[in-house]
Amino acid sequence: MDIVLTGSYNYVMKALILKLNKEGHRIFVISGSRFSQKKYPKVFEQYDFVYESSSMREIFDSIHPDAVVFLGAYDDTFNWKKQDLEQVRYNTGLTNILQAATALQKHVRFIYLSYQDVFSGHSPSDILEHDKFSAVGFQGMAVRQGELICGNFQKTNQFDSLVLRMDHLYGMPLSDKDLMEPFATMVREGLHGNTIHANRNNIYSMLHISDAVEYIHKVLTTEELKYHVYNLSSGEAMSEYEMAELVASGMGGGTSVEDRSVGNMYRLVLSKERFSDEFSSRVYNHAKDCIPKIAAEIASQEQKFFFFGGDKVSIWKRIWDKIALVLKIVLPYLETAALFIPFFMLNNRATNSEYFSNLDFYLLYVLTMSIIHGQQQALIAALLATAGYLFRQQYDRSGFDVLLDYNTYVWIAQLFILGLVVGHMKDRLRNVREEDLHEIDFLNTQISDITDINATNVHIKNIMEEQIVNQNDSFGKVYEITSSLDQYEPEEVLFYAGDVLKQLIHSEDIAIYNVANSDYARLFVSTSKKARSMGNSIEYPKLGALYDAISKDQIYINHDMNPDYPLMADAIYSGDHIELIIMIWGIPWDRMNLAQANMIRVAGYLIQNAVLRANRYMEALQEDRYIKGTNVLGRDAFLILMGAFLHARSKDLTECCVLHVLPVEGEDKNLVATTIEKQLRNTDYIGYGPEDELFVLLSNTNEDNVSFVMNRIKAAGYETEIWKEMNV
């Protein structure tokens, strides 16, 4: 699947990328930042765009994803210090991404990650998905509104949007931003003061990130879902005090817990009933085991987590930033006032001048301010010029005469009209220029975005071309390898199926078990000592999780890394019955994924076809191969079969042993063969070999453990010896 993840790089994003990458999915990331970010590891392609970007639709058209995971409540892209603004940005970004996803002409599964804080208040029982909401705070309300937006898209657009609400998520943080409450407060107190304060009345359920991503992957890969909202929870309720004790035990160094139980009972635990009914929700990481380890790790990296929020800014830097901001606002006013002084002096000197008496320096001053700064400073300059004019007129006349003079008001009117008109034009020109610059910036951004998207598309195209050209596991390659089975004799096909699997799965440890009956399977082919580790005969219905998977016709993947089981296994069916069981060891952890499982399934089907053709050929020749009325192979058929087994043994594909039945004078050989056959397993063979004497071929048996069979044949009245001459 092609999956888009949206969000900054934190421990949630890291866990999702590792899980999805391990399962063979192709991962694309939208970082939510307009600035170039450091490339996330194990990501196919990364897009550094804000969620509100107008290029989001082009990005989705370019990726054409099968699924989208919006980190939502766990996305550090949003800074909740300016909560009201971030709430708007959060919902706008989510809506933009949803619209881009719904515009694609294909089915896209959209997963929205929510959290427990959409609820608040005490609940004596586990909170169900449809219980009444009571989110508090801007972040909680924004996340809740995001759930409603996803629900509306699901209803109105028939869009496959899902809400996964996780209960008090925790894990090993990458930075202090990853510390979630109440775990964060406990860690801070433990690091700062060696005393953790806890309230026994507060009860929570903690969900480890590793379990959370397992559940998310199940939802991503399940085709049909019953609901559109699920709670993801461990269901393991514990008090705040118990949690604090776990943190203190991990930190050590004298860290203690102080009981501060006040107030009423406060219980917030999400119910996992709905998810457990539909999926397997086994908890692999229990809080009582994981929390002390995480606390110990954080304590060992105290310098990394001590100054929460990053490096502190010095007080002088903060003071200077404030001064710079004030100066930026006040400077135009200071400039207007300062420039008034030289113009006032020039006007006084020009009054009695023969050449400059008709030059109005105040008008020039107002026009200068309006041209430079615009209407606002023109108004201030006009007021200062009026004050200067009135002051100068009082040198020759009384103030009362100046106020009664008609020319005074005409002069003031022209001063204000010219200043405000020119200032208005300046402001208009500035606004037009800013709009033009803004549009140019927007178009440049669009060009840059289109260039980035195109560069990404070219990069993806080149990668895909390279994969197609150099693909070792293409269907053509698979068919080429499996078709090589057609060159072998019918008796040899199943032996060399193990060799074929070695090439396809790139593992040296392959075992193929032949199912003898409803309870037992016998080892038929093994390519190494490790592949024979489960023994020559297994009671496969007792293999627990392995049998549960193959009985449902699913690929078994050993996620628990149980050393007693293979890393992967598959069953080949004949009708409704298991015919063969393929087991594989020696696979790197990162290749135990969906892609490898699909490869095993395809290879199994092609091998099954080759085996089926061989079996039909053998059935067609049954009358020629067996002595009539018996299960005793004729001389030619037995020699061919024995040669196939011994040749496979020489290539370490199987173990076998040949017994020569010592002749008994006067007894019918067919009767002897029929009697001995009853002492053999259904995977062993008896027939006529060299000089028409009876031989027994024991599969998956070596000379060290053949004595048991020899004793059983001896008890039936016949002697045998190990046949050495046929060793290849």
Q: How do residues 655-668 score in pLDDT, each as one tens digit?
A: 788 888 888 777 77
Q: What is the pLDDT of residues 673-689, one digit of tens each?
A: 888 888 787 778 888 88
What is the pLDDT at residue 303? 66
Q: Mean pLDDT, to the nearest integer, of 429-433?
A: 85
Q: What is the pLDDT of residues 68-81, one digit of tens each?
A: 999 988 888 887 77
What is the pLDDT at residue 727? 46
Q: Mean pLDDT, to the nearest integer, of 377-400?
A: 79
Q: What is the pLDDT of residues 570-616, one digit of tens each?
A: 888 877 788 888 899 888 776 777 777 877 887 777 777 666 665 66
Choose among 584, 693, 559: nearest CA to 639: 693
The answer to whether 277 and 220 are in contact (CB under 8 A) is no
What is the pLDDT at residue 353? 66
Cα–Cα distances in Å, from 88 out to 80, 113, 139? 11, 18, 11
Q: Which residues contact 379 (CB under 8 A, 6 or more apart)?
A: 416, 419, 420, 423
What is the pLDDT at residue 33? 84
Q: Mean pLDDT, to the nearest integer, of 689-704?
A: 81
- State percent of the chain over pLDDT 70: 86
Furthest CA-CA distance within the chain: 162
The answer to whether 284 and 214 are in contact (CB under 8 A) is yes
Q: Mean pLDDT, to the nearest integer, of 330-353?
A: 80
For the chain, the domains span 2-306, 333-442, 476-620, 624-722
If one compares 51 and 259, the residue with the highest pLDDT of the two is 51
Q: Does 312 score more than 70 pLDDT? A: no
The domain made up of 624-722 is a member of CATH 3.20.20.70: no
Residue 354 is encoded by which pair of tokens? Answer: 């023969």
Lowest mean pLDDT among 276-290, 429-443, 537-551: 429-443
Q: Does 314 score more than 90 pLDDT? A: no
Lowest mean pLDDT among 8-22, 69-83, 462-476, 662-676: 462-476
The answer to whether 116 and 140 are in contact (CB under 8 A) is no
What is the pLDDT at residue 628? 75
The answer to whether 607 and 581 are in contact (CB under 8 A) is no
Helices 361-373 and 406-470: crossing angle in degrees, nearest 10, is: 20
Q: Which residues contact 383 (CB under 8 A, 6 or more apart)?
A: none
The answer to whether 666 and 673 are in contact (CB under 8 A) is no
Choose among 559, 464, 578, 463: nearest CA to 516: 578
Question: What's at 65, amino acid-wise?
Answer: P
CB hemisphere CA count around 618 (13 angstroms): 17
What is the pLDDT at residue 310? 43
The answer to whether 147 and 197 are in contact (CB under 8 A) is no
Name the pLDDT band for 112 (thresholds 50, 70, 90): very high
User: Coil, helix or strand for 546?
Assistant: helix
CA dihedral (440, 445, 446, 449) in degrees, to 10, reads 160
Residue 717 is encoded by which pair of tokens? Answer: 């009245």
The answer to whether 582 and 570 are in contact (CB under 8 A) is yes
Name the pLDDT band for 113 (thresholds 50, 70, 90): very high
Q: Which residues contact 693 (CB under 8 A, 6 or more apart)?
A: 660, 661, 663
Looking at every residue in the chain, the average pLDDT score rounds to 80
If phi > 0 it is left, if psi is from -120 to 50 it is alpha, else beta; for residue 235 that is left
Q: Mean pLDDT, to the nearest integer, of 50-74?
A: 89
The answer to whether 237 and 203 are in contact (CB under 8 A) is yes
Do 2-306 and 476-620 fold alike per CATH? Answer: no
The domain made up of 476-620 is a member of CATH 3.30.450.40: yes
Cα–Cα distances in Å, from 643 out to 427, 518, 610, 639, 647? 99, 30, 20, 6, 6
Fold classification of 2-306 is Rossmann fold (3.40.50)
Paired sense of beta strands 568-574 and 556-557, if any: antiparallel
What are 204's strand-pairing partners?
A: 238, 268
Question: What is the distance between the alpha carbons of residues 313 and 662, in angstroms, rounded to a whole number?
Answer: 96
If one compares 488 and 12, the residue with the highest pLDDT of the two is 12
If phi > 0 it is left, if psi is from -120 to 50 it is alpha, else beta; for residue 263 that is left
What is the pLDDT at residue 448? 67
What is the pLDDT at residue 305? 64
Helices 475-482 and 493-505: crossing angle in degrees, nearest 10, is: 150
Q: Which contiguous run of DSSP H or E holds residue 164?
A: strand 161-166
Residue 624 is encoded by which pair of tokens? Answer: 């020629």
The answer to whether 524 and 700 are in contact (CB under 8 A) is yes
β strands within 312-372, DSSP E: none
Name the pLDDT band for 728 (thresholds 50, 70, 90): very low
What is the pLDDT at residue 483? 57
What are the start-end ranges of the H helices in 394-515? Answer: 399-404, 406-470, 475-482, 493-505
Q: Does 471 score more than 60 pLDDT? A: no
Q: Which residues contact 9 (CB under 8 A, 6 or more apart)?
A: 31, 37, 38, 40, 174
Q: Which residues contact 512 (CB under 8 A, 6 or more apart)?
A: 494, 497, 498, 501, 523, 524, 525, 526, 580, 581, 582, 583
Question: What's at 662, amino acid-wise?
Answer: L
